[in-house]
A = this chain, B = another copy of it.
């Protein structure tokens, strides 16, 4: 049998992944010890900080905020900055994320260039680097190999993983052969720094400058501050989306659905859905949910720029939703008291039941089970008289519609009053009899 050897097989299995090889800059030697192997101390903490990233995502934005104090805000520049913010955002969500990391649809070359340029304007690394980390994030969610695991804290998943140095060996390996074959991705990766300077800073500065003379405003608002906002917003997918909201599809890992996250991230907030169905070009599946990235992709399809939009089959999505509800329900069920199981109840003969009912205990038989209603008689919503009249009798029919068709609630309440099972009264009895046959044969009288 093949399955017996599959554990061994799995190790030897070609899993298609490779270490990440940057196509530019100095190569690091994976065998050398890395700073992250040492604990952070008062003396070495600055070696743990990734100063380049810290400069780009913290220091420069802070300088921008300070500088903006002296730079008057022009309405046209503000409007341009907001529009450019959405453009850069779509570069990350529709481009880096849904197109390159997840190949959830296919794009024509013009759309790819448009998105690669937009992605550069967001200053979050190259599409190639970003997608590789993101694939590792999906494949190893919440584990040590997840580049931005929320298990290490909300702040870490938001920004910590960028401002602190990371051990390149730690991050899970993934397969990016498809990206290496995509000329737009490779070009953007090779010319990343040039692309960023052009798209993130030069374009907004020149646009605002040449169109309405606001070079400085274009630089500060359309460049620096816009970069800051789009970075923080998209970082929320790694932090907020793994921390705030519901888990309608699977609660084994951290991803969550929340409309606030969706608003902040151009629709990437239905993240529990997304982690469960990453190949779906949608993040929100209901028409009333906010997913502008989906709308953008859909429009691109209408005008012929995108095609092969992938949807996970509706039936399978609903199955996932149902299984998760069922799981929650089973957990809830286990916390409730469902009464003594029938098989743990003593077996009582009909005559014993009747005679016990005459000696002070108010016993009522329903569906082969004997119930002690002594303390309930005075509380019975149908009055004392009716329930008292059933004491010592088989009330199956009158309880179930003969006199009154009791609610589900009444059936539940009844089950808490179980004290015995009638010999011969229902199926369970058949099994019991076999067991006790020797002990009390004399009392079998029906």
Contact = CB atoms under 8 A, between A and B. Distances in A.
B413 A316 contact: yes
A336 B310 contact: no
A383 B7 contact: no
B329 A315 contact: no
A338 interface: yes
Interface residues of A, number: 73
A193 B404 CA distance: 34
Contacts of A11: 402
Q: Which 7 A-B pairs have the closest CB atoms?
A: A10-B402, A6-B397, A2-B394, A279-B381, A3-B394, A16-B385, A316-B412
9 contacts: A1-B446, A3-B365, A10-B402, A13-B389, A14-B385, A175-B383, A278-B381, A310-B379, A316-B412
A144 interface: no
Interface in A350-367: 350, 365
Interface stretch (A116-124, A150-158, A281-289, A320-328): A320-328
Contact of A313 (B276, B413, B424): B413
A407 B317 CA distance: 12
Interface in A409-423: 409, 412-413, 416
A336 B317 CA distance: 10
B329 A412 contact: no
A350 B382 CA distance: 65
A407 B2 CA distance: 24
Q: Give this chain's copy count.
A: 2
A41 to B, nearest CB: 36
Nearest to A11: B402
Contacts of A332: 318, 322
Interface string A319-349: 1101111100100110011100000000000
A73 interface: no
B425 A3 contact: yes
A28 to B, nearest CB: 26
Given A1-B350, A383-B178, A403-B13, A329 B325 contact: yes
* Interface hub of A15, A139, A326 (most chain B Cβ within 10 A): A15
Given A1-B446, A7-B402, 4 more contacts: A7-B397, A14-B385, A276-B407, A322-B336
Interface string A383-412: 101100100011111100011100111001
B320 A336 contact: no
Interface in A47-106: 102-103
